[in-house]
Chain A
């Protein structure tokens, strides 16, 4: 019994597996990104805008990256900070250290993240977006991101590059979101 008590717990991914799921349809490859750490950052009254991990915090509708860290504008003086491959670290505490006086909240497991890449440039990404979200392509150019509705769910859509897209949705609804995503991609063929 003693062994069990001190044995570390094993994480499961949002889709319920021990390893992230992947799928490929035509030129599109999509994968669950279970390594993405997330924390929200909000300025408090009187604090100056920080540059955590060297990130220039982006303005409305924008997303910016510096190394393995990235930031998405979420609202006035509010950002979602990403840390690639840092999901199982105490990312919120690390971020708090970079942003003294700001409000920081752990969000890593608040979301499931799906990374979508295209092997045929941006056309398949744009075609997929048209099936998924009501966002005009010119509002989702590379370096832009937004919160929007997808199949009655609230999601974050981030255009990381012309051929790369990230979808962040409710972790609990990961299976519904994955179904929507893979169904749409399969239909594009």
Chain B
């Protein structure tokens, strides 16, 4: 029912639906308050027992009123109705109920409650084991779900950003406002963030005045000043949800969640805030007092009733009872009376309690049961030795307040129990963080504000700034005396954790079953898990456990909190990166040209590389690849190999440096020549291969594989900076600066002769493994390397990257009569397998130079990284070496990953003799071929072995052959 006053805008009416029924509300309402205004108390069903549930709180701690908000692809399950600002056209649906919220068939679970106790799943669904994944888990998930995903792609945009400040104030209630004002007036860079759309926090929920006027007036005055301060950033609708290392706070700003659709805006922004100091002023959460059947719609926090009455101008019922162990509970009665709500009684568990106004007080009483299937109708009160049923539509429960110290725990800080405050308070705090206000256990508004000011002044002093305490408003004194009452003893189920359906009985059972440490209690009962993270349950549960063990709460200790404080959408965490923008895409210089040719691309790390270039009439990728291979081996092929890493190495000690880095000698390399190089890891295994070109005495350019370009450069920098800082050597990556093309095939020289500017490419002048700096195409500076991956007469030609696309087009155009053919990575792979060159499949981090047939490259005349370790027994004794493999029946495939066995041998780990690393169809050989590591392979040439592929049930007879299928003598590349 709607009351008078409040912070809602009655001049506008907003229409919304809940479970298809139309309702109205006003700006300033939350979905929860608007539903209460429409006399809707039943808002959901509980997780396990499917019990009817209504709203329990007025804030982000809500355990019960979880709805699916919006529809279609925008449907978002488990949205707290208490934290949703009402907007025109809002659409919400209840969850976890079938066929309807009022009649839920799965409520049968509630009748089986004696079986569905804590640990029920663990005890029941044990055998047979195979059933868990296929039957039990899907069944349990279906029965006990909390909402359903839309399974459609999120249509909204998300953003991310970074903020830096001197002081981050988390929470814009009384303490946070005071802290932010103090720091901002002193000139500090301040961020004030609050999850609410309005500043003021609890001030808006209370009837207490500031300076004799409603608190909202004081807040409004402050907002005006704050808006004028350029060094203060106000972040409304922003939840600071995590504290991470080095004073970095995660925050989500709900930019457009209060709008029907975001339109041109992003929906949410994920902020990473680096704060030199922070004040946690997140307030406190009121705790309840478990009693039998305390989960009915209408039973809620007394403070929430007050918030609904004062801020939202609603009451869940005309007749309300209060159950309290605190003076604070009486305030709710007074505020409700002031709004015209009838108070059935205030039941105070303290015998000495006194009434603070005109209402019936039952001192020394306890609520011990309730009635009302879909909503509270009456509560049973035990007092004076008897029981009495009191009719009421809502019950406010006031059991004291728990400081919201979650963020103070995110760096593993464990709170301590404070007996005087009857609450957990922050203990050891993360560096730079202070806690103020109700989050620090303060209750009185004046004290709360003063603690905010004090925290800000301390932060300012730390930062070397001087500040002054601002004049604070005159507050009304209110009594906050109370006595803890952790639960009402008795039969039946008394809920501690509403969201996970954990009762006092469950905690007793956990205790009986020796799940007594709080960490065990939590996992056995699932208490404090799920979307509310037990904000309204944890402390009561600890208290019950303490009572059962006979220990104090301090000795029982508490679990700690982890981020996020409240649920964060995965899309927000993703920061909006999805689809093609999910990660950086690197395009080769000839990418646009290749795309125009209709190339098929493949992701190679971040790179997009042309895989093959289909021609008209080619219906299968093999047609294209076979053609590219044959055309290259017959005429000339061109491939963009820019992705290979390139590192410029200069300095007086460049030669010494490379000698130590590569297993084979590099200092002896002549200027103008290139050498194949192999790097080992420190442990002696092969790391990466590439080429090393000496452009001058003190200048080399080395290449790496595409995949290892980054890691090898890092490895080189580590060696330069940390291993041998005494060497005069300078490194810089030039991978991106130069576009590089492999030009391979018998016509390669002829083709290049058409583009170089008068450079002598004859074998005598520019032999195999030569390199030079030259110009091409009328003066463009270029680099030429006579190296071959394909086994053909081949070169690699490099030009500044901006000319790469033009060069590719030019080579194809001027080489048309020579058969110039662009080829992709697939043909590149086929040709290197045919030639027996190793690549990533062979350099997989588990192989050695000896296995690769490169053992003699590891020089024993000098030291290099990994050289000594490569000679250790375990590696030297490794018998598997690289061989070629060819099917006995030419029609059979060779499958990479297959394991190799002797013919007739039983196939098991002990008899495994190696594996196939690379395989392809070789148009040159006319069958599938492969490379692999085979035990004693060099001695077994000609032997027929078996390639076992148990995944596909294949057994294929292969002949062991040399690893060079084309030109084994290397005549072509030296031609």
**Selected interface stretch from B35-43, B725-733, B889-897:** B725-733
Tell me the bound Cα distance from A111 to B642 in angstroms.
14
**Neighbour of B806 across the interface among A6, A11, A45, CB < 8 A:** A11
Q: Which of A87, A108, A134 contacts B274 (CB 8 A)?
A: A134
A5→B587 contact, CB < 8 A: no
Q: Which A residues from 1 to 24 make CB contacts under 8 A with B? A: 1, 4-14, 16
Whether A7 lies near B800 (C-beta < 8 A) is no
With the chains together, A44 CA to B731 CA distance in Å? 11
| Apart from A5-B755, A151-B584, 6 more pairs, CB < 8 Å | A7-B777, A8-B778, A11-B803, A40-B732, A44-B652, A187-B265
Q: Which residues of B contact A34 (CB under 8 A)?
A: 802
Interface residue SS majority, chain A: mixed
Q: Restricting to B150-171, which residues have a CB under 8 Å from any CB of A?
A: 159-164
Which listed residue (A11, A42, A108, A110) contacts B733, Cβ 8 A?
A110
Interface residue stretch chosen among B52-60, B79-87, B807-815, B900-908? B807-815
Q: Does B202 contact A (CB under 8 A)?
A: no
Within 8 A of B (CB), among A84-131: 87, 90, 103, 105-111, 130-131
Q: Is the CB of B736 within 8 A of A110?
A: yes
Residues from 154 to 185 in A contacting B, C-beta threshold 8 Å: 170-177, 179-180, 184
A-B pair count, CB < 8 Å, reads 143
> Is B803 a contact of A171 with CB atoms below 8 Å?
no
Would you call B800 and A106 a contact (CB within 8 A)?
yes
Whether A172 touches B581, Cβ cut-off 8 Å, given contacts A8-B777, A44-B730, is no
Give every chain A residue within 8 A of B592 (Cβ-Cβ): 12, 16
The 18 sampled A-B contact pairs (Cβ below 8 Å) are A9-B799, A9-B807, A10-B803, A10-B806, A14-B801, A34-B802, A42-B732, A90-B781, A103-B651, A108-B800, A109-B802, A130-B161, A131-B161, A135-B162, A151-B584, A172-B586, A172-B589, A172-B607
Q: Does B936 interact with chain A (Cβ within 8 Å)?
A: no
Is A137 among interface residues, defined by CB-CB distance under 8 A? yes
Asked if A66 is at the interface of the complex by the 8 Å CB criterion, the answer is no
B378 to chain A, nearest CB (A): 54
The smallest beta-carbon distance between A168 and chain B, in angstroms, is: 11
Query: Closest CB-CB distance, A109 to chain B, in whole Å?
Result: 4
Residues A105 and B274 in contact, CB atoms below 8 Å apart:
no
List of A residues within 8 angstroms of B160 by Cβ:
131
**Residue B385 is within 8 A (CB to CB) of chain A in the complex:** no
Complex Cα spacing A21 to B318, Å: 67
Complex contact B162–A176 (CB within 8 A):
no
Task: Name B738's closest neighbour in chain A (CB-CB).
Answer: A109
Give Cα distance in the complex from A90 to B775, angstroms. 12
B652 adjacent to A45 (CB under 8 Å): yes
Q: How far is the CB of B751 from chain A (nearest CB, A)?
A: 11
Chain A hits for B733, CB < 8 A: 110
A16 near B583: Cβ-Cβ < 8 Å: no
Question: Which single residue of chain B is at the shortest CB-CB distance from A111?
Answer: B736
B606 touches A173 (CB 8 A): yes
User: Which residue of chain A has its CB nearest to the CB of B805?
Assistant: A12
Encoded as 1 (CB less than 8 Å from any B CB) or 0, chain A from 12 to 56 comes to: 111010000000000000000010000010101100000000000
Measured in the bound complex, the distance between the Cα atoms of B607 and A60 in whole Å is 32
Q: Is there contact, CB below 8 Å, between A9 and B274? A: no
Q: Give residues in B with beta carbon < 8 Å to A.
A: 159-164, 264-266, 272, 274, 577, 581, 583-589, 591-592, 606-607, 642, 648, 650-652, 728, 730, 732-739, 754-755, 777-781, 799-807, 810, 813-814
Residues of A within 8 A of B577 (CB): 151
Bound-state CA distance A175–B800 (Å) is: 19
Q: What are the residues of chain B within 8 A of A176 when measuring CB–CB?
A: 581, 584-586
Mask of A130-157 contacts with B, CB within 8 angstroms, 1/0:
1101111110000000000001110000
Contacts of B588 in A (CB 8 A): 172
Contact B814 A5 (CB under 8 A): yes
Tell me the minimal C-beta distance from A21 to chain B in angstroms. 13
- A11 contact set on B, CB distance < 8 A: 800, 802-803, 806
Contact A172-B737, Cβ < 8 Å, known A12-B802, A134-B162: no
Give the distance to chain A from B250, nearest Cβ to Cβ, in Å. 13
The answer to whether A44 touches B814, judged by C-beta atoms less than 8 angstroms apart, is no
Least distance between A5 CB and chain B CB atoms (Å): 5
Q: Is the CB of A105 within 8 A of B648?
A: yes
The complex places the Cα of A49 from the Cα of B669 at a distance, in Å, of 31
- Using A110-B736, A131-B161 as known contacts, say yes or no to A175 and B730 having CB atoms under 8 A apart: no
The interface residues of chain B lying within 8 Å CB-to-CB of A44 are: 650-652, 728, 730
Closest CB in chain A relative to B634 CB, distance in Å: 21
Cβ A134 vs Cβ B272 within 8 A: yes
Q: How far is the CA of A10 from the CA of B813 in the complex (A)?
A: 14
A1 to B274, CA, bound (A): 62
Q: Is the CB of B581 within 8 A of A179?
A: yes
The docked-state distance in angstroms from the alpha carbon of A14 to that of B589 is 8
- Please measure, in the bound complex, the distance between the C-alpha atom of A138 and the C-alpha atom of B166, giving whole angstroms: 12
Which residues of B have CB within 8 Å of A103? 650-651, 730
Count of chain A residues with a beta carbon within 8 Å of a chain B beta carbon: 53
Q: Are B801 and A171 in contact (CB under 8 A)?
A: yes
Known A8-B779, A111-B736, A134-B162; judge A42-B730 contact (CB<8 A): yes
Q: Which 5 A-B pairs have the closest CB atoms?
A: A109-B801, A136-B164, A172-B586, A110-B737, A9-B806
Query: Is the Cβ of B810 less than 8 Å from the Cβ of A9?
Result: yes
Residues on B with beta carbons closer than 8 Å to the beta carbon of A5: 754-755, 777, 814
- Whether A133 lies near B652 (C-beta < 8 A) is no
From the candidates A87, A111, A133, A173, name the one contacting B585 in the complex (CB within 8 A).
A173
Judge whether B736 and A171 touch: CB under 8 Å: yes
Q: Which residues of B contact A14 (CB under 8 A)?
A: 801-802
The residue in chain A whose Cβ has the minimal distance to the Cβ of B753 is A5
Q: Assess the B806–A12 pair: CB atoms within 8 A.
A: yes
Q: Are B583 and A152 in contact, with the CB atoms below 8 A? A: yes
* A133 and B778 contacting across the interface, CB-CB below 8 Å: no
Give the distance to chain B from A60, nearest Cβ to Cβ, in Å: 16
B residues less than 8 Å from A173 (CB atoms): 584-587, 606
In the assembled complex, the Cα of A42 lies from the Cα of B810 at a distance in Å of 36
Closest to B586 in A: A172
**Contact assessment for A8 and B780 in the assembled complex, using a CB-CB cutoff below 8 Å:** yes
Report the minimum CB–CB distance from B270 to chain A (whole Å). 11
> Which residue of A has the minimal Cβ distance to B647?
A105
| Chain B residue at smallest Cβ distance from A1 | B814
Q: How far is the CA of A172 from the CA of B272 in the complex (A)?
A: 28
Minimum CB distance partner of B802 in chain A: A11
Give the complex CA separation of A86 and B426 in angstroms.
61
User: B463 to chain A: closest CB distance in Å?
Assistant: 13
B583, closest chain A residue (CB): A152
Query: Which chain A residue shows the least CB distance to B266?
Result: A187
Q: How far is the CA of A42 from the CA of B651 in the complex (A)?
A: 10
State the CA gap A42–B699 with chains docked (Å).
Answer: 13
Give the docked Cα–Cα distance between A130 and B607 (Å): 28
Q: Give the shortest distance, in Å, between A56 (CB) and chain B (any CB).
A: 21
Q: Which residues of A contact B779 (CB under 8 A)?
A: 8
Closest beta carbon of chain B to A173's beta carbon, Å: 5
Considering the chains assembled together, what is the distance between the CA atoms of A184 and B754 in angstroms? 47
Q: How many Å from the CB of B169 to the closest CB on chain A? A: 18
Residues of A close to B806: CB separation below 8 A: 9-12
Whole-angstrom distance between the Cβ of B392 and the nearest chain A Cβ: 51
Give bound CA distance, A9 to B584, whole Å: 29
How far is it, in angstroms, between the C-alpha of A151 and the C-alpha of B581 when the chains are bound? 9
CA distance A179 to B160 in the complex (A): 14
Indicate if the CB atoms of B584 and A4 lie closer than 8 Å: no
Q: How far is the CB of A33 from chain B (nearest CB, A)?
A: 13
Contact B777 A170 (CB under 8 A): no
Instruction: Pick the most buried of B265, B737, B804: most chain A CB atoms within 10 A of its CB.
Output: B737
**How far does the Cβ of A44 sit from chain B's closest Cβ, in whole Å?**
6
> Which of chain B's residues has its CB closest to A40's CB?
B732
CA distance A10 to B577 in the complex (A): 34
- Name B803's contact: one of A9, A135, A172, A175 (CB within 8 Å): A9
Report the nearest A residue to B806, measured CB to CB. A9
On chain A, the residues within 8 Å of B587 by CB distance are 16, 172-175
Question: Which of B164, B736, B799, B803 sits near A170, CB closer than 8 Å?
Answer: B736
Q: What residue of chain B has the Cβ atom nearest to residue A186's Cβ?
A: B264
Shortest Cβ distance from B214 into chain A, in angstroms?
36
